[in-house]
Amino acid sequence: GNSVTQMEGPVTLSEEAFLTINCTYTATGYPSLFWYVQYPGEGLQLLLKATKADDKGSNKGFEATYRKETTSFHLEKGSVQVSDSAVYFCALSGGGGSYIPTFGRGTSLIVHP
């Protein structure tokens, strides 16, 4: 079956540091890949997505590239802010025609001033 593995947190950074959160997946077919963000006390929000190999999703300074050869979708940001502190979830859906999404366990990011 499908699975998503992302690095365990928490990831603790100083403001303006470079961020990478690793995500790898196994899936049948050609799924769409997503990063969701969850701020404290809120539901998950779609941060960015990519629907085919070599696509780059981007939003709010965050980027991730769909790498089929390495089955990866790593999240990056060049300069994090305190307001980026949240939990980040990597997910996939649509592989093999399945609409049922598969989420990673989430990675907590803490950014200090």
Residue number, 51 or 79, with CB nearest to other proteins? 51
Piece of 3-11, 15-23, 71-79, 95-103 that binds other proteins (CB under 8 A):
95-103
> CA–CA separation, 36 vs 89, rounded Å?
5
Dihedral pair phi/psi, residue 22, rounded to 5°: -80, 145
59 binds other proteins (CB under 8 A): no
> CA–CA separation, 92 vs 59, rounded Å?
18
The first and second tokens of residue 29, run together, are 């077919």
The first and second tokens of residue 62, run together, are 């965050």
40 binds other proteins (CB under 8 A): no
Residue number, 45 or 81, with CB nearest to other proteins? 45
CB of 57 vs other proteins, minimal distance in Å:
10
